[in-house]
């Protein structure tokens, strides 16, 4: 790999994006700076790697809990990331996150340590969504509303989706009263599974074959039904509603008593999509619990 190889990110959205690039997702900076220690908060420990930063942004900051940690995390991220304005593109592997050899970008690190891939984290702070993936050191990517798509070599604004794409997710979970709109998804923390509400009305869990390709492992079987939103309701029901907010499908395990409150839907690393109650007990899932997902006529 040569330092001539560069990673470019093109912003095809109408909002600024923030990008961090590192030699890998486990890249640790806590041993070279004391400032990060201030991010230790609420039992989460020190956020000392790209992987940990990404996890906190998605599971704490973006879902609106842990306000103190959210504020600190976002401030830290903005300070140490590259901002790309709408309609612009930038070379992003000139700056790494508090690199102890800060005169080297990731390409330079690759020359020394033989790395052929880099970890890229892109965050849309306005829409509270993020994506993290590994990229070859000379790949470039186009960020659209719900996906990051590989660009054709030498043509930064021309998509080559067959060569690679990654979905931008809101989190790995939905809490009570939260929803997914068409095109939005939850992704497992390890990035191996996406749960997406498709524009055709179907809700699907995909196992990713990165960087391109995927296989459906579960479906709500609501394709061509009325399209509206997916919700984790306050009464504990996991529901797909149509355009008129009329339920299209649901787990139908709900109630008005305290035992049904505080539920959450989580896309797990093992590919299981699970509804947990407030005591962390699974009440419905796509792999093990024999309870149906009811599709209405």
pLDDT digits (tens, 9 = 90+) for 80-122: 788 999 999 998 876 554 444 444 455 555 554 555 678 889 9
| pLDDT over 80 (residue 174) | yes
| pLDDT over 60 (residue 213) | yes
In the sheet that holds 273-276, the strands lie side by side as 173-175, 264-267, 273-276, 282-285
Based on the domain organization, do 80 and 219 belong to the same domain? no
Residue 249 is assigned to a structural domain of this protein: yes
| pLDDT over 80 (residue 212) | yes
Based on the domain organization, do 135 and 212 belong to the same domain? no
Based on the domain organization, do 28 and 161 belong to the same domain? yes
Residue 56 is assigned to a structural domain of this protein: yes
Task: Pick the more confident residue, 103 or 213.
Answer: 213
The torsion angle over the Cα atoms of residues 91, 93, 94 and 99, rounded to 10 degrees, is: 160
pLDDT digits (tens, 9 = 90+) for 35-75: 444 454 444 455 667 787 787 777 766 665 555 666 777 77
Based on the domain organization, do 244 and 117 belong to the same domain? no
DSSP string for 118-140 = EEEEEEETTTTEEEEEEEETT-E
CA–CA separation, 127 and 83 (whole Å):
15
Residue 1 is assigned to a structural domain of this protein: no
Residue 261: what pLDDT? 94
Q: How far is CA 234 from CA 151, 175, 228, 262, 268, in A?
A: 42, 9, 18, 7, 21
Based on the domain organization, do 184 and 79 belong to the same domain? no
Residue 27: what pLDDT? 64
Residue 69 is assigned to a structural domain of this protein: yes
Based on the domain organization, do 107 and 127 belong to the same domain? yes
| pLDDT over 90 (residue 144) | yes
Residue 244: what pLDDT? 87
| pLDDT over 90 (residue 125) | no
Based on the domain organization, do 153 and 185 belong to the same domain? no
Based on the domain organization, do 38 and 158 belong to the same domain? yes
Residue 34: what pLDDT? 39
Total domains in the chain come to 2
Exposure class string for 1-35: b at 16+ Cβ within 10 A, else e: beeebbbbbbbbbeeebbbbbbbbbebbbbeeeee
- Residues of the chain with pLDDT > 70: what percent? 79
Q: Report, as an integer, the average pLDDT of 215-220.
A: 97
**Which of 134, 167, 200 is a domain's end point?**
167
CATH of the domain at 208: 2.90.10.10
Q: Report, as an integer, the average pLDDT of 2-8.
A: 62
pTM summary value: 0.84
Based on the domain organization, do 17 and 151 belong to the same domain? yes
Residue 1: name the closest of 108, 126, 88 by CA: 108
Residue 23 is assigned to a structural domain of this protein: yes
**Which of 151, 167, 183 is a domain's end point?**
167
Task: Pick the more confident residue, 3 or 224.
Answer: 224
Residue 97: what pLDDT? 47
Task: Pick the more confident residue, 115 or 143.
Answer: 143
Instruction: Determine the structural domain holding residue 161 and report its residue range.
Output: 8-167
Based on the domain organization, do 144 and 63 belong to the same domain? yes
Q: Which range in 23-27, 108-112, 143-147 is most confidently predicted, on average pLDDT? A: 143-147
Based on the domain organization, do 29 and 109 belong to the same domain? yes
Residue 20: what pLDDT? 85
Residue 210: what pLDDT? 79
CA–CA separation, 273 and 189 (whole Å):
13
Residue 127 is assigned to a structural domain of this protein: yes
Based on the domain organization, do 178 and 243 belong to the same domain? yes
Confidence tier at 209 by pLDDT (50, 70, 90): confident
Q: How far is CA 209 from CA 58, 90, 192, 194, 213, in A?
A: 22, 27, 8, 11, 5
**Which of 137, 167, 197 is a domain's end point?**
167
Residue 113 is assigned to a structural domain of this protein: yes
Residue 2 is assigned to a structural domain of this protein: no
| pLDDT over 70 (residue 2) | no
What's the mean per-residue pLDDT of the chain?
83
């Amino acid at each position: 790999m040569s330092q001539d190889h560069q990673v470019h990110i093109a912003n095809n959205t109408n909002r600024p994006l923030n990008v961090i690039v590192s030699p890998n997702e486990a890249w640790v900076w806590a041993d070279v700076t004391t400032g990060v220690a201030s991010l230790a908060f609420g039992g989460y420990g020190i956020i000392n790697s790209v992987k940990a930063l990404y996890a906190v942004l998605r599971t704490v900051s973006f879902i609106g809990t842990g306000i103190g940690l959210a504020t600190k995390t976002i401030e830290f991220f903005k300070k140490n990331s590259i901002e790309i304005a709408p309609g612009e593109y930038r070379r992003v592997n000139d700056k790494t996150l508090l690199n102890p050899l800060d005169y080297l970008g990731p390409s330079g690190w690759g020359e020394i340590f033989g790395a052929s891939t880099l970890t890229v984290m892109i965050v849309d702070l306005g829409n509270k969504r993020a994506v993290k993936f590994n990229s070859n050191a000379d790949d470039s990517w186009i960020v659209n509303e719900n996906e990051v798509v590989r660009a054709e070599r030498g043509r930064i604004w021309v998509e080559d989706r067959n060569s690679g794409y990654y979905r931008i997710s809101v989190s790995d979970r939905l809490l009570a009263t939260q929803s997914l709109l068409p095109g939005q998804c939850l992704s497992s923390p390890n990035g191996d599974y996406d749960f997406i509400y498709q524009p055709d009305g179907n809700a699907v869990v995909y196992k990713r074959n990165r960087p391109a390709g995927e296989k459906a492992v579960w479906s709500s079987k609501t394709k061509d039904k009325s399209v509206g939103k997916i919700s984790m309701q306050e009464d504990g029901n996991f529901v797909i509603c149509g355009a008129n907010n009329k339920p299209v499908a649901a787990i139908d395990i709900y109630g008005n008593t305290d035992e049904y409150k505080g539920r959450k839907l989580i896309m797990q690393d093992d590919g299981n999509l699970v509804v947990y109650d407030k005591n962390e007990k699974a009440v419905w899932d796509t792999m093990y619990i024999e309870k149906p997902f009811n599709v209405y006529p």
